[in-house]
Structure 1
Amino acid sequence: MNVAHRQRVGLCALVLAVCCGTAPAAQAAGIGSPALSAIPADYVSYAVDELPRHFTTPPLNNLFDNTPASNPISNAGAELGRVLFYDARLSHNNSTACASCHTQETGFSDPEELSTGFEGGQTGRHSMSLTNARWYASGRFFWDERAATLEEQVLAPIQDAVEMGSDLADLVNELAATDFYPVLFERAFGDTDVTRERMSQALAQFVRSMASYQAPYDRAVEAGTAGTPDFAAVEGIDNPTRAAQGHALFQRTCAGCHRTDAQVANNTFNIGLDAETVDEGAGDGEFKVPSLRNIAVRGRYMHDGRFQSLEEVIEHYSSGIQANPDLDPGLPAGGFRFNAGEKAALLVFLQTLTDTEFLMSQLFSNPLVALAGDYDGSGVVDDKDYTAWRAAYGLTADGVSGPLAADGNGDGVVDAADYGVWRDNFGASWEDLTTALSQAVPEPAAVTLLGLALAWPTRRRR
């Protein structure tokens, strides 16, 4: 079998693997190459033009949207941000991506109490959900609001000594040296220059495009009104009467902080987690309040991830609010004293905020695919990958920090078999992924719904 034929067979196998959800695991390549359509996905239609009426009317559209005029969402910009978001190259040892701590299936939160960084250390706080992050009036980010803008926030974890540990100047050079990032930056910004400012803008565009507005609750609002959603008109809500009761109770007791039909906040609050402040947060034990969209699938709750279920969160507000000296005046010390029926109703209502379309959308899924033989992560299998294989020959997975990049067959050791992987794929490129997908995949949306060859590593938990 000649090299060209081996490449065609390999690409066909990759396309079938992508479509069937059986593509090679991340550990076999460490980092991946983007498998994208030749035309950028339409983020503007999804996140701007097609928003429902209750997202495009005051106060949500004019008082809460923190999109700056200097960085509106664009298709190519958000798609570049998507690639960056999932790319483990952004960490010092190619082990950790933004998506390692913000997973799509949990509404871009972390199901763990704390997140694990690139060398196994743990973050000081729980990873906040990014769902509907665009709608927060002040535009400040992190639980303690230390970042003035989303553009500032997205670069901080990349440089953090625990989270990703990278030097931005080195990272810019690393990304510019790949075959594909200059192309993606040119699509987004007009030329091939890779800069930290453009990285920031693209990542912020992608995060702001994470608009969740297709939950059962949204369909109930469309069937009724914002003030009186018609839960009975929505298929799939098991107990619409209880959902309506939960909504009414939520409006009386919770909507002072969780405002509008996006259930977003406009300030920081002390919610009485502790009688004496343990973490000052933004000051006086106050913390930023994320949107409640997709709250039922998050797995962990609060800035420190202390609660493991939505039932525990409801119980806190029912009976666990501590008489902290700085407790928000809208919250009663000791809690609201909900009865069993009220707790059950609140739970049913909060479950109507789960947006399955968003949680499975191709727009927000991992676009990276393991390109076999691409040991230096450039997006092209060439002589440099042979050099990388030769330099790594004999290494084992236990002997390196991060993924074993030249381990082409994923068996945990760099040996002659990995040379064969490089040889059989010599000349392959990330652009072949686009060509192969466009020719062989009749339903592009199915690629993501079935799984796109996750090319960034899952973190090892302690």
Structure 2
Amino acid sequence: MNLRQAIFLLILVCAGCSKKEIDPESQAYSLPVPEHFPQPVFDTQNPMTREGIELGRMLFYDVRLSANNKVSCASCHEQALAFSDGVALSKAGVSGTPLLRHSPALINMAWANNGLFWDGGSTNLESQAFGPLTAHDEMAQNLFELIDELNAVPEYVTRFKTAFADEITTRNVVKALAQFQRTLISANSEYDQFKLKKAGGTLSDVELRGLELVQQKCQGCHSSELFTDNEYHNNGLDADFSNTEYEGVFLGRYRISYNLADLGKFRTPTLRNVALTAPYMHDGRLASLEDVVEHYANGIKNSGTLDERLPAGGMKLNKDEKEAIVAFLKTLTDYQFVVDPKFKQP
């Protein structure tokens, strides 16, 4: 090899190194499934990567996603509240107008494979994101302007190229958001320590009695270690579904299916971290866990689509039983989840 050939080879090697530094490949990410959880099932043509997840975390906390650059996803989904917002109907959106439904908590979203929103109006996390991004009373963003805003940030240009080998597009924005949200896994509560027979995993007699009652009376809908069946049920909040105002958001799953059997049916939320996610129900009408248990004890309203496992009028729980259920529900709080640095604003 002569000197000229050696210099040419050195240039090629250096150019290759430089290109790798500028345009590194993304690293595949394997979702860490808790040992007592079922395997998640989702097929969205959106394979998870470390770079995609980190990009999604940045976007989740970025107010550029809203029309007035004041509202982010985190405005209605606070980590300290298990990614809920602590109010019945949020006014945090661009318009300042109260929303018509309660902001749901974001917990174990990798297992949410049967529709999202309270009525299942979106298929998956990718499609769901377009709702709040563009809704007038939420982020009200013009998606073309969003792309221009993100392209004005060199770090975003680089991160999108690394995560997706592509430019910034709305499709890649929602894919990144979905990847981050699927990492929001909560499985380290006092109950989990008890279930897995780990050190410190003990429940009191009252909490054990509450667990027994929840298994008997609640796990028809709040099933498995996820504490949700990801289905839609009429839990007796209302008996009249004739209100068709506001695009029928009070009609439940019927709004999407147009099946009369779905009137008043709403998606079952998980009971995990439920002590942190008050108020409750699709419209936030119940302020406390005690109110929720009282509803099931004495407030269930009858209608043609009432879930067959629920007795009209209520389950007639006594005072001790209600207190035991609330005590157990509090053992589902995952204190590490709400401070985990992997989920915080970067």
TM class, shorter-length: 0.7 to 0.9
- Counterpart of 2:21 in structure 1 is none
Match of 2:325 among 329, 334, 346: 346
- Counterpart of 1:80 in structure 2 is 55
- Counterpart of 2:233 in structure 1 is 269
- Counterpart of 1:158 in structure 2 is 133
Match of 2:65 among 83, 90, 93: 90
**Correspondences of 1:338-417 after superposition (within 5 Å):** 338-367=317-346
Letter in 1 for 2:102: H
Taking the aligned partners of 1:100 and 1:329, their CA distance within structure 2 comes to 37
* Residues 113 and 124, structure 2, Cα contact 8 Å, conserved in 1: no
Q: CA deviation at 1:43?
A: 10
Q: Name stretches of at least 5 consecutive residues in structure 2 with no aligned partner.
A: 1-23, 244-249, 255-262
- Counterpart of 2:221 in structure 1 is 257
Taking the aligned partners of 1:163 and 1:136, their CA distance within structure 2 comes to 22
SS in 2 for 1:134: helix
> CA distance change for structure 1 residues 108 and 153 in 2, over 3 Å: closer, same or farther?
same
Q: Percent identity?
A: 41
* Residues 67 and 208, structure 1, Cα contact 8 Å, conserved in 2: no
- Counterpart of 1:314 in structure 2 is 293
* Residues 136 and 264, structure 1, Cα contact 8 Å, conserved in 2: no
- Counterpart of 2:208 in structure 1 is 244
SS in 1 for 2:337: helix
Query: Do structure 1's residue 282 and structure 2's residue 282 form an aligned pair?
Result: no
Query: Do structure 1's residue 122 and structure 2's residue 113 form an aligned pair?
Result: no
Taking the aligned partners of 2:192 and 2:28, their CA distance within structure 1 comes to 20
- Counterpart of 2:117 in structure 1 is 142
Match of 2:35 among 47, 53, 67: 53
- Counterpart of 2:12 in structure 1 is none
Match of 2:156 among 178, 181, 184: 181
Taking the aligned partners of 1:256 and 1:80, their CA distance within structure 2 comes to 38
* Residues 256 and 330, structure 1, Cα contact 8 Å, conserved in 2: yes
- Counterpart of 2:19 in structure 1 is none
> CA distance change for structure 1 residues 314 and 222 in 2, over 3 Å: closer, same or farther?
same
Taking the aligned partners of 1:348 and 1:72, their CA distance within structure 2 comes to 39
- Counterpart of 1:423 in structure 2 is none
SS in 1 for 2:110: coil
Write the deviation string for residues 391-437 of structure 1: whole angstroms up to 9, x where unpaired.
xxxxxxxxxxxxxxxxxxxxxxxxxxxxxxxxxxxxxxxxxxxxxxx
Write the deviation string for residues 287-316 of structure 1: whole angstroms up to 9, x where unpaired.
111211111011210000001111101111
SS in 2 for 1:166: coil
SS in 2 for 1:249: helix
Q: CA deviation at 1:69?
A: 5.5
> CA distance change for structure 1 residues 243 and 72 in 2, over 3 Å: closer, same or farther?
farther
Letter in 1 for 2:206: R
Letter in 1 for 2:325: L
- Counterpart of 1:105 in structure 2 is 80
Q: CA deviation at 1:255?
A: 0.4
* Residues 95 and 136, structure 2, Cα contact 8 Å, conserved in 1: no
Write the deviation string for residues 41-73 of structure 1: whole angstroms up to 9, x where unpaired.
x9946xx23x33111xxxx21xxx243252133
Q: CA deviation at 1:325?
A: 2.1
Taking the aligned partners of 1:66 and 1:156, their CA distance within structure 2 comes to 23
Q: TM-score, normalised by structure 2?
A: 0.84
* Residues 73 and 209, structure 1, Cα contact 8 Å, conserved in 2: no
> CA distance change for structure 1 residues 100 and 317 in 2, over 3 Å: closer, same or farther?
same
Taking the aligned partners of 2:284 and 2:336, their CA distance within structure 1 comes to 26
Q: CA deviation at 1:234?
A: 2.9
Taking the aligned partners of 1:174 and 1:86, their CA distance within structure 2 comes to 15
Q: CA deviation at 1:249?
A: 0.7
- Counterpart of 1:234 in structure 2 is 200
* Residues 42 and 113, structure 2, Cα contact 8 Å, conserved in 1: no
Taking the aligned partners of 1:348 and 1:73, their CA distance within structure 2 comes to 37
Q: CA deviation at 1:240?
A: 1.6
* Residues 213 and 355, structure 1, Cα contact 8 Å, conserved in 2: yes
Taking the aligned partners of 1:103 and 1:185, their CA distance within structure 2 comes to 25
* Residues 230 and 269, structure 2, Cα contact 8 Å, conserved in 1: no
- Counterpart of 1:442 in structure 2 is none
* Residues 130 and 207, structure 1, Cα contact 8 Å, conserved in 2: yes
**Correspondences of 1:27-38 after superposition (within 5 Å):** none
- Counterpart of 1:201 in structure 2 is 175
> CA distance change for structure 1 residues 335 and 91 in 2, over 3 Å: closer, same or farther?
same
Taking the aligned partners of 1:329 and 1:348, their CA distance within structure 2 comes to 26
Structure 1: 4+ residue segments shifted above 6 A: none
Letter in 2 for 1:202: A
Taking the aligned partners of 2:204 and 2:183, their CA distance within structure 1 comes to 30
* Residues 43 and 78, structure 1, Cα contact 8 Å, conserved in 2: no
Backbone CA RMSD of aligned residues: 2.1
Match of 1:212 among 173, 183, 186: 186
Q: Name stretches of at least 5 consecutive residues in structure 1 with no aligned partner.
A: 1-38, 225-232, 368-462
**Correspondences of 1:318-329 after superposition (within 5 Å):** 318-329=297-308
- Counterpart of 2:278 in structure 1 is 299
Q: CA deviation at 1:76?
A: 1.1
Q: CA deviation at 1:286?
A: 0.7
> CA distance change for structure 1 residues 124 and 69 in 2, over 3 Å: closer, same or farther?
closer
Aligned length: 307
